[in-house]
Structure 1
Amino acid sequence: MNKLLASAIFAAGLSAFASGARADCGSVSIAEMNWASAGVAANVDKIILEEGYGCSVEMVSGDTLPTFTSMNEKGQPDIAPELWINAVRTPLDKAVGEGRLVIAAEILSEGGQDGWWIPKFLADAHTEIKTVQQALERPDLFPSSEDPSKGAIYNCPPGWQCQASLGNLFRALDGEEKGFEIVETGSGAALDGTIASAFEKKTGWLGYYWSPTAILGKYEMVRLSFGVQHDKAEWDACTSVIDCAEPKVNSYPVSEVYSVVTKRFADEAGVAMEYLKKRKWANATVNSVLAWQTDNQGTYEDAARHFLETMPETWTQWVSPEVAEKVKAAL
């Protein structure tokens, strides 16, 4: 009886140890931001942290400034998978310097990309067009649906900061004198509709867009150069300011997009923190996943599972073989 009791106690101890080993990560809260790429990233993290590392994950609705403020002041949530840090750079640097927050991987390996784009089929047919200036020499290739005698440059939706930069760059490039007009789209959906229509009709399209997005996963576009380096001082003082008096040609900044975690998580999560230090993906990968989500009317979780099931060559580089097998078994 004593041997049986000892064996039972030993077995229970092993079971508790195993559970403890899986639970080293503990309880984790993840910000599920309210835009698609970040929402999918949060759900990828949830699945990998739960199934691969034994974490207990809670999803928390988020947005850039509210999430950063809460992490900085309250230590919650633990993880912001996709934080566009240009909006919070100064206070983030202070929070990192004072030991409240920790920057993990740059989740978008190429950063967030704004700019003026044209369809790839048009770029392939007109290889001489590499820059915005070269595109503006050919208004005939980008006819406006409102006035076909003019070229069209499609603007971003009302209220977005990019309206200021597009308007200023249009004036700096003498867009009106070169036969172009700015076409207001009215909404994100309407802007997407103009791109879809251009591809269906195989007509030229020139305008503002950004990556990563579902549209760029569905329709191949080429981002044009402005022929100059990004001038941050000029951008802050004029390019991004509505109706700047004397705008100059400038390039859009590449937005740095990082995963940010609380100091508590970084100190206590163990190997799970190593995963977040490695976890990054290319814009083309994100675009593809978001296009699948849109076409299949999927949720963020659906898209995350699609990514994990169909692109193991990407995410298995972020984790150990043992963790990868646990995640695969759970899908």
Structure 2
Amino acid sequence: MPHPFAPLRALLLALVLGAFPLGATGQEAGAGQQAEPDAQSAEPAPPPRCGTQPMTIGRMQWPSAAILAEIHARILASEFECEVRVQQVDQAAAGSSMGTTGQPAIAPELWLGRIAEVWNAGVKAQKLRQAGATYDQQVFEGWYVPDYVVETIPEATTIEGLKQRWADFAGEGGARARFLSCPPDWACAVINRNLLRAHGLDAYFEIVEPANRFELDTLIAEAVGRREPLLFYYWAPNAVLAQFSFRPVDLGAYAREAFTCLGRSACPGPQPSGFPNEPVVIALAEWVYLEATPVASYFQRARMPMAEMNALLQALGEPGQTVETVAERFVADKSDIWREWVGAP
């Protein structure tokens, strides 16, 4: 005979078993549900595009480097949403600091030949890296003649042509033509003296060495204003090369041993040589490559056309213009150039 309370006991047992499942299977399921993480929260967050350290750009004291610093600061802020700070620095101090502390993070125009020891130490310690060349050309010095000279004397862009037509540069009654060099206390003054001898042009051209860069610019402007035949030395980037139209003279290929002698005051037998390539680079602290890959890729592409920088320097000389306003104008008007740096269509 069934116990009078049997149905009630069965009901209570069923309720207990339902609420607290017994056995290994039930216990493992419960433990598994509590330990299983959310699939989405388990995925690591993507690294910040600009890294985790301050994104500082070293602004050197000369105009082209200052303009580049301001241009890159604006593009990194607008296109990569980086918090960028432009820091006024000296070139040697910047190279040293980048190699020890990683700051500034970026130096857009570093002339490696002038801080070779500091640069090599930073690279060896794996604290510095070259992103790419700052400009689309690597020879920054040369001899030039105005375009209007080439129109009437096409051979004036060659050494042999200058020998043959030197009298056209001398003018009426001139015993020798003028060659405008750089100030006498500059290294290029020694090079130009020896280079004229090496090419046999010292018999036809006398060297004029102005007291300073401003006198050189004045002499060039006066000759161009009078449309006189003119042979002169100059360097880039520079506003003068954008202000007037000039053509480079072909000085031949660079010869290392010959050029080394050209730089000596007592070079016994000068031999011809073109001016050498000079490494001018965008330098990055190593952490930028490791933590801010999109930014590093941007600087690998950010090669400024030299003609464009010459034009920017010319614009900087206009009344009321500053490094900042020139940089803003470039970003606003020259997206056809910098969009390729960003990698955007």
> Which range, TM-score by smaller chain?
0.7 to 0.9
Q: Distance in 2 between matches of 1:132 and 1:288?
A: 28
1:139 corresponds, among 166, 171, 187, to 166
Report the alpha carbon displacement of residue 41 of structure 1 after superposing the two structures with TM: 0.8
Cross-structure match for 1:170: 196
The number of aligned residues is 301
Q: CA deviation at 1:136?
A: 3.6
Q: Report the TM-score when normalising by structure 1.
A: 0.82
Cα–Cα, structure 1 residues 67 and 183, in superposed 2: closer, same or farther, change >3 Å? Answer: same
Corresponding residue to 1:282 among 277, 301, 305 = 305
Quick one: distance in 1 between partners of 2:163 and 2:94?
41
Q: Displacement of 1:173 after TM fit? A: 2.4
Percent of aligned pairs with the same amino acid: 26
Deviations 1:136-176 (A, max 9, x none): 4333333389x943211111124322112111112222333
Query: How far apart are residue 113 of structure 1 and its match?
Result: 2.0
Deviation at 1:76, TM superposition (A): 2.6
- Tell me the SS of whatever aligns to 1:295: coil
RMSD (CA atoms) = 2.6
Contact 1:152 1:183 in 2 (8 A): yes
Deviations 1:43-77 (A, max 9, x none): 11111122222323232333443332332344332
Could you say what secondary structure the match of 1:276 adopts? helix
- 1:294 Cα deviation (Å)? 1.5
For residue 94 of structure 1, report the CA deviation from its aligned partner. Answer: 4.9
| CA distance in 2: counterparts of 1:124 and 1:85, whole angstroms | 38
The yes-or-no answer on 1:196 pairing with 2:226 is no
**Alignment check: 8 A CA contact 1:112 1:212 kept:** no
Partner of 2:257: 233
Kindly provide the amino acid, as one letter, of the partner of residue 272 in structure 2.
V
**Preserved CA contact (<8 Å) 1:26 1:55:** no
In 2: Cα distance, 1:164 partner to 1:67 partner: 30
d(CA) in 2 for partners of 1:240 and 1:92?
24
Is residue 116 from structure 1 mapped to residue 139 from structure 2 by the alignment? no
Partner of 1:257: 280
Alpha carbons of 1:73 and 1:26: their partners in 2 closer, same or farther (altered >3 Å)? Answer: closer
Kindly state the Cα deviation for residue 35 of structure 1 after the two structures are TM-superposed.
1.9
Counterpart amino acid of residue 175 in structure 1 = L
Partner residue in 2 for 1:268: 291
Q: Name 1:210's counterpart in structure 2.
A: 235
SS for the counterpart of 2:281 is: strand
Q: CA deviation at 1:317?
A: 0.9
5+ residue gaps in structure 2?
1-44
Match of 2:79 in 1: 52
Q: C-alpha distance in 2, partners of 1:59/1:112?
A: 28
Distance 1:144 1:76 in 2: 56
Q: Which moved more, 1:293-302 or 1:257-266?
A: 293-302
2:187 counterpart of 1:161? yes
